[in-house]
Amino acid sequence: MTIRSTARALLLSACAGLALTAASQPARAAGSVEVVHWWTSGGEAAALNVLKKKMEGQGVAWKDAAIAGGGGAQARTVLQARIASGNPPTAMQMLGYVIQDWANEGALANLNEVAKRDGWDKVVPVPLQRFDKHDGVWVAAPAGIHSTNWVWVNKALFDKVGGAVPNSFPEFLALAQKFKEAGVIPLAHGGQPWQEMTVFDGAVVSAGGPEFYKKAFIDLDKAALTSDTMKAAFDQLRKLRGLVDPNFSGRDWNLATAMVIRGEAGMQIMGDWAKGEFAAAGKEAGKDYVCFRYPGTQGTVTFNSDAFAFFKVGKDQQAGQALMAADVLSPDFQVEFSLLKGSAPARNDVPSDRFDSCGKKAIADIKEADARGSLLGSMAHGHAAPEAVKGAVADVVTGFFNSDMSSADAVKKLAAAIDLTR
């Protein structure tokens, strides 16, 4: 069923809601909320728990609708089915273009009253507002800003092999070789399409720089998509494929992070939700692990922002919904959540002093990239292009990673697959 027909079913259902009303007094019992999300790893669950506890403290019952599966594809499928049967949750964790899709279908609530009262326009970074607002109406509240072009490294192994932070892809390969010689798996990887896509975000920036990434992945420019530079990005991916262990297929991302934490693997290329796993395991940045940007991408940030999108729901859920929206963007939640999640806050006015070195770097990198126009939406996580395009890219990237397809064939397939979606 398409997003359009599912949304029509929603609108025909008894659930067509009213505009969201402003939050009532915190101490007052305010019903319940049901929240769909895919935060099931140790770090993710710990971070979400901050919101759950905050809301329970305000007398709102929390009904958890967790749907496991990193990157959220499974959760998005379940959501479609729920909407089709006229049973929307109060809120769902959502990424980028998907928020706009549901807003286009008229399925999302109007948060403007809360947003105006709490001054969201002034404190939420503009690149996020483009996804969380629809036709001037706030429909989602961002919980944080993640980015995908990161490498996470086991510090003891890094020191043991005399590692230095690589500034280029060849330097990265040299570091990987050192890990290999030391008898550890150079790169921990989970073979799932969204994880391969996550790695590819970095490869595209590394091969061509931010302008190229923008042309290829945001403007979907055919010349860029079929260029030698795009071939070079696939060449990087081919090299990375040679660094992973034979059991990578289907492995969850957090299990790959655990391999780095335990010292079975030297590095993982993954979004900074991996930092949440290190934190959940009691590991400290700079002491137990090292973080750096995907080689050759320093200065660019490929971001994705988890937001809670709020559905039109019946009166019984509206007070809880308004409280939740306000809570998500409250300064204290933004900090507590990101400390556990590995993200940077989605407000530009909260202090960074409690963040560790990797967290501070994330916050500084985002600021710098925003200023120089290189804060770019992640293709892997729904912030560069609509879902259909993302799916087409994922098929080619995963097909490439899991076969001996040449880079020349991959770029042809990539352009053709994107063409079919338009």
Q: What is the binding site for ligand BGC (CB under 6 A)?
A: 38, 44, 70-72, 95, 146, 253, 273, 304, 306, 381
Q: Which amino acid is at 59?
A: G
Neighbours of 415 (CB within 10 A): 21
Q: Which is nearer to ligand BGC, 75 or 184 (CB)?
A: 75
Q: Which is nearer to ligand BGC, 41 or 58 (CB)?
A: 41
* CA atoms 358, 268, 177, 160: torsion sign: positive
Q: How far is the CB of 306 from ligand BGC (least distance, A)?
A: 5
Q: Which is nearer to ligand BGC, 39 or 400 (CB)?
A: 39
Q: How far is the CB of 363 from ligand BGC (least distance, A)?
A: 17
According to DSSP, the residues that pair with 92 across neighbouring strands are 36, 309
**Are residues 326 and 391 in contact, defined by beta-carbon separation less than 8 angstroms?**
no
Residues 6+ apart with CB under 8 A from 262: none
Q: How far is the CB of 352 from ligand BGC (least distance, A)?
A: 20
Q: How far is the CB of 206 from ligand BGC (least distance, A)?
A: 21
Residues 6+ apart with CB under 8 A from 314: 14, 15, 17
* CA atoms 83, 89, 90, 93: torsion sign: negative
According to DSSP, the residues that pair with 191 across neighbouring strands are 249
Q: Which is nearer to ligand BGC, 225 or 259 (CB)?
A: 259
| Residue 133 falls in which region: left (phi positive, over 0), alpha (psi -120 to 50) or beta | beta
Q: How far is the CB of 304 from ligand BGC (least distance, A)?
A: 5
Q: How far is the CB of 39 from ligand BGC (least distance, A)?
A: 6
Q: Which is nearer to ligand BGC, 120 or 253 (CB)?
A: 253
- Can you tell me whether residue 158 is helix, strand or coil? helix
Q: Which is nearer to ligand BGC, 112 or 149 (CB)?
A: 149
Q: Which is nearer to ligand BGC, 134 or 390 (CB)?
A: 390
- Which residue number places its CB atom closest to ligand BGC? 273
Query: Cα–Cα distance between 228 and 205 in angstroms, integer?
Result: 14
Q: Which is nearer to ligand BGC, 142 or 266 (CB)?
A: 142
Q: Which is nearer to ligand BGC, 17 or 71 (CB)?
A: 71
**HSE-CB of 172 using CA atoms within 13 angstroms:** 25
**What values do phi and psi take at 44, rounded to 5?**
-65, -45
Q: How far is the CB of 185 from ligand BGC (least distance, A)?
A: 21
Q: How far is the CB of 227 from ligand BGC (least distance, A)?
A: 28
Instruction: Read off the tokens for 168.
Output: 């280029």
Query: Cα–Cα distance between 157 and 104 in angstroms, integer?
Result: 49
**Are residues 216 and 228 in contact, defined by beta-carbon separation less than 8 angstroms?**
no
Spatial strand order in the sheet of 185-187: 185-187, 265-269, 150-154, 289-293
Longest dimension (CA), the chain: 64
Q: How far is the CB of 73 from ligand BGC (least distance, A)?
A: 9
Q: Which is nearer to ligand BGC, 44 or 327 (CB)?
A: 44
According to DSSP, the residues that pair with 108 across neighbouring strands are 311
Of 191, 192, 212, nearest to 201 by C-alpha is 212
Strands 91-95 and 306-310 come out as antiparallel
Q: How far is the CB of 41 from ligand BGC (least distance, A)?
A: 7
Residues 6+ apart with CB under 8 A from 390: 97, 197, 379, 380, 382, 384
Q: How far is the CB of 270 from ligand BGC (least distance, A)?
A: 9
Of 313, 329, 306, nearest to 32 by C-alpha is 313
Q: Which is nearer to ligand BGC, 212 or 253 (CB)?
A: 253
